[in-house]
A and B are shown apart, each in its own frame.
Chain A
Amino acid sequence: MKKSTSGLLAAVLIVVLGVLVYYTYEPVIEDVNLGLDLQGGLHVVLEAQEIEGQELQEDTITKSIGILRQRVDGLGVTEPNLYPQGDDRIVIELAGVDDPEEAVNILINTAQLEFWDEDGNVLLTGEHLTDARAAMQQGYNVAEVQLTFDDKGTELFAEATAANINQPLPIAIDEEVISSPIVNSVITDGRAVITGNFTADEAQELAVLLRSGALPVSFEILQKRTVGPTLGAESLESSLIAGLVGLIAVLIFMLGYYRLPGLIANLSLVVYILIVIAVMNSIGAVLTLPGILGLVLSIGMAVDANIIIYERLREELRHGKSLKAAIEAGYKRALSTILDANITTLIAALVLMYFGTGPIQGFAVTLTIGIITSLVVVLTFTRALLYLSGNISQNKKLYGV
């Protein structure tokens, strides 16, 4: 290739790259799925508690997940993550929850609705509910929950009211009486109203719980992490600033120390970061705080790959090789080192991804994506630019020698 065509090619490449980065930067950043530690949310591991009368059936966990999912939908969370773990555990991950502690309370509530007679005998349960809605009592500033029963429930409710005229009919949730209305007449339309001492929000919560139904068994919290939105936003900001400051320092160092190859390294680095984030978005990976650290580390590895190449390149130049020969030899010799170094780290990252949980997994995922991307960028983009630069200028000073 002639010098002038190479120069032109490089200029075109840099312009195209700049435009590409400019236009892809925003959509790529906007698509990032933030983890619960960066936008607030919760991670809970529940374990089913077997007691007499509530044994674990084959479908208990699946059923419970269905019920919990409805409750989560009632909370208005987008993209909830619920899955079974082992035989008797459920993992719930929700991001973007304003009050995660309250959400946990709603989730672990068994919400067993029962109508009792005066002696505490169960006359009717929430099993027969078809709907539950929160409403404000007409004309008063009192919240209530309106219940609708199915056919069987309507029948049972009519019997229950008939047997308890002018007597209280306590309504209990999880064995705690929340309202105890006096029955005035037999109710045959299958509708009931719970008025208790609750606010509009509490009525809304109760309606969600009753609508989703009672959990077949009660659950205990084995592990819980909740992050409020304030801390999430602060963590996101401080880690981004830290990452950016660190990155800029690295870019300046590379340019100052390695000159032209440093510029190539910096261009590669920008391309590299964009690709990593785009890959994470496309496979739906979530960016967590430890994930950012994994990203930072993989940037370090990417820079290291460049440093290995350029140190080798300088050595070849000092041996008196021509620039083109030095680039070729330097790149080739550095490659096996880079491969070995990255593969060993990749082994560690993959083991972590497999055995790690929660924060560690987030870290391992970004590190793995980072290492693979770094290798691809070094093998294609960096290499192409380096060979191209060898064609443009034969001035060894540009290579720091």
Chain B
Amino acid sequence: MQIIQRRKIYYIISLIILVPSIISLMFQGLNLGIDFQGGTLLQVRVEAEETTSADVRAALHDLELGIEYNVQQSDNDFFIRTTELTQQDTEAIISGLDTALGGVELLETEMVGGIISSELARDAILALIIASVLMLLYITIRFELYFGIAAILAILHNVILVLGVFSIFQLEAGMPFIAAMLTVIGYSINDTIVVFDRIRENISMERREDTITMLNRSIMQTIVRSLNTVLTTSVVLFAVLLLGGVTLEIIAIAMLVGFIVGAYSSLFIATPLWHDLSNKFKTKRV
């Protein structure tokens, strides 16, 4: 297969999906969870079948607590998101809904204060940066700088795409999402390294072939492994997505998108990028 020769096609494909992601991130932003914005999330189960979120909203309105809220429904479970609530307000909501809707069970509450949310956001960003730098360092030591740069560019590509999906569909980005994001980064590196490892090995064999043939061969040698690994992890993630309940849904979506994009980018983006990078800078030195 002539993957390296056709690299411009892959660059263009990536650009075509990157551009809407970036536009959405710039204009729509992310739907930040309460972890990063502060606020309260209540999950209640209403006994009466056929209760709608309009009913819940009406019941909340009648309580006259003077708070803003957003109600989402999943079967008989309702997710109520509001500003930071005191214990008294939380209790008032639960008992108020219980009376108005005839039997309500409180499944989960989550309250994050303003101070904590900015601390969490800071820690999350810090963790992302430190992890990326350390991984780049490791690859540079184990391989060489151009491998590291190509790997980081490919990862950036994957991160923007996953962020883009979350921005376009306005999926909630909270703490679990950050964990998923970091996994995507770790996994993308993992994927890229398997290919680069093969390239390094093929370089050292010093066969009589040009670089492009060698790179194509390296990709073909690792492509089955990439496909099989994506297949097995996707199967597990699909199971989590379909059966794992609401809480794990968001993480599973992030990972699924990230893993598939990660496998693609390590073969069709990272390797051609390394080729272009090392060509451009190394030939000048000679």
Which A residues contact B (CB, under 8 angstroms)?
Answer: 37, 45, 47, 101, 104-105, 108, 221-228, 230-231, 234-235, 238-239, 241-243, 245-247, 249-250, 253-254, 257, 289-290, 292-293, 296-297, 299-301, 303-304, 307-308, 311, 315, 333, 336-337, 340-345, 347-349, 351-352, 354-360, 363-364, 367
Contact = CB atoms under 8 A, between A and B. Distances in A.
Contacts of A101: 87, 90-91, 94, 106, 109
A19 B49 CA distance: 48
Nearest to A253: B232
Contacts of A356: 123, 127, 179
Contact of B139 (A221, A222, A344): A344
B130 A355 contact: yes
Q: Which 5 residue pairs across A and B have the least CB separation, nearest first?
A: A246-B236, A246-B239, A348-B186, A242-B243, A355-B127
Contacts of A307: 225, 228-229, 232
Interface of B: 43, 45, 87, 90-91, 94, 105-113, 115-116, 120, 123-124, 126-127, 130-131, 134-135, 138-139, 142, 175-176, 178-179, 182-183, 185-187, 189-191, 193-194, 197-198, 201, 221-222, 224-225, 228-229, 231-233, 235-240, 242-245, 247-248, 251-252, 255
A228 B94 CA distance: 13
A238 B235 CA distance: 16
Contact of B251 (A223, A231, A290, A341): A290
A196 to B, nearest CB: 19
B243 A238 contact: yes
Contacts of A363: 179
A89 B128 CA distance: 26
A242 B87 contact: no
A219 B254 CA distance: 37
A254 B90 CA distance: 50
A223 B138 contact: no
A290 B244 CA distance: 11
Contacts of B243: 238, 241-242, 245
A239 B193 contact: no
A26 to B, nearest CB: 24
A238 B77 CA distance: 16
A344 B135 contact: yes
Contact of B116 (A222, A241, A299): A222
Contacts of A297: 183, 187, 233, 255
A249 B251 contact: no
Contacts of B134: 347, 351
A215 to B, nearest CB: 15
A290 B176 contact: yes
B218 to A, nearest CB: 12
A104 B85 CA distance: 14
A345 B109 contact: no
Contacts of B232: 249-250, 253-254, 300, 303-304, 307
A130 B91 CA distance: 32
A250 B111 contact: no
B81 to A, nearest CB: 14
